[in-house]
Amino acid sequence: MRVFPGLAELSEQFRALVLDVWGVLHNGSAPYPCAAEGLRKLKSRGCKVVLVSNTPSTEAVLVRELAELGFSPELYEGLTTSGEITRQVIARQEAAGRYAWHIGPGDRSGLLDGLGFGETDQPGRADFLLVTGFDDQLPEPRLYAEAWDEAVERGLPLYCANPDLGYAAADGSMIPCAGLLARMYEERGGRVHCFGKPRPGIYQRVLSQLPGLQRSEIAAVGDSPATDVRGAKAAELYAVLLANGVAALQAGSSAHDSILALCRKEGVMPDAVLNRFVWDAGGR
């Protein structure tokens, strides 16, 4: 297993990097030390960067959120989000004027703005469900069971804008995500459409932002075996697992043996491990 101490060696081997966002560049509330500087040095070396995120937001919203954290748009070639793909698919598959029942935090309620859909919080009135995460007032999965059963009974499709089962919070805890609710809905017999890593559609959009490059010239870096590593391998990209973030939390340690044991349990192995998202072994 190849081990990269930092980005300097990685950028010597590849002309472009596809980077996860949450868990690689920031923890949801603050940027990781050296992350922005790492992007600047990648750019100065001529290594292109495209960001890929399972956030249930449009690409424009993510650009703004990253800028607020100190990651200006000139630091990367482009980005794509599971939320943007979800929005586009719903616009194609659902007729304007139909009613969406949004389940998720209030700050993600605008994903379908401008598409002509009505909004309702009643499963009996909804034509489809949009799940971006857990509702602010309903933090426990069991609280959704009754509404889920009614929606399944009516045959309502569920669109999941973030397939992650959980993410690493700033305090190091694991927070459940929209993917967990989508799994519950599917287990009850519901019809689910999920978008984002590790599904291929999001990588097709990523690769379109790196014209002229062969897949062998691109490495994908992320902190989750289930989404980042599996998605990269399915897209035939060189998969690099960051030795912290979700993988370290799930494994109980950032030690290579521990996180690789987790990967074996997940049934997917990275091509390499990146110790930290810093430029070199000195931590700069």
The domains of the chain are located at: 2-83+198-274, 96-194
Write down the CATH number for the domain with range 96-194: 3.40.50.1000
Residue 212 to residue 8: CA distance in whole angstroms: 23
Which residues are CB-neighbours of 278 under 8 A, at least 6 positions away?
A: 6, 7, 34, 38, 284
Say what the pLDDT of residue 281 is: 67
Q: Quick check: do 2-83+198-274 and 96-194 share a fold?
A: yes
Nearest by Cα to 164 from 122, 119, 126, 195: 195
Say what the pLDDT of residue 252 is: 86
Which residues are CB-neighbours of 88 under 8 A, at least 6 positions away?
A: none
| CATH architecture assigned to 2-83+198-274 | 3-Layer(aba) Sandwich (3.40)
CA torsion sign, 244 to 78 to 198 to 11?
Answer: negative
Mean pLDDT by 10-residue block, N- to C-terminus, for the chain (284 residues)? 93 97 90 94 97 96 96 97 96 94 87 95 91 80 82 94 76 76 93 94 94 97 94 97 84 88 93 92 62
228 close to 197: Cβ distance less than 8 angstroms? yes
Beta bridge partners of 14: none
Rounded to two decimals, the pTM is: 0.91
Say what the pLDDT of residue 245 is: 75
